[in-house]
Amino acid sequence: MSLRATPVVLVSALTLSIAACGSPERSDAPAPPAAPAQVAPIAVPAATDWTSLNALVGQYPNASKLIEDSAVTADLKTLLGDKYETLRANMQTQAPLEREGSVLYTSGNKAHEGGINAAYMMIDPTQRAMEVGLWENGKLTTYSTQGSSLPKPKDIQTMIANG
């Protein structure tokens, strides 16, 4: 090889190197197996313990967050749908949570609108059943857990009779 050939060989080698950089690498070797996909376990919501509500007897729902943040809140929202906010509004002035037999209950009304916009709420923690009565403009509509029939405490019976 002469000195003159050396630059030609170098230029050729350089050209091949640059060309190789631009093209994808081909390999006949099989690709390594992909790492197994990690699947997150399905989160199963824990059943809420409604019996924890027994500790709230004697407390006002606003103070205990019975409606907004308790064991029944998710079920209450499901039961009432878009009427959940009506319940909250109609429970501005409220009685403390009471118990008669196995049923926990409370009632209330929209501030300065008793008898027109009011509500009651009954819960049986053992059966995981509830009933909500909403008066809107004086008209009562009840919402209850499917298949349940809770005995109405005397205070709720009186409220309905006077409604």
Retrieve residue 13's tokens.
């080698």
pLDDT at res. 26: 52
What tens digit of pLDDT does each residue of 88-145 get? 999 999 999 999 999 999 999 998 887 799 999 999 999 999 999 999 999 999 999 9
Radius of gyration of the chain (CA): 35
pLDDT at 11 over 90: no
- Alpha carbons within 13 angstroms on the beta-carbon side of residue 72 total 31
> If you search the block for the tokens 């909403």, which residue do you land on?
134
* 158 close to 98: Cβ distance less than 8 angstroms: no
Retrieve residue 69's tokens.
């943040």
Question: What residue segments make up the domains of the chain, in order of their start?
Answer: 50-161
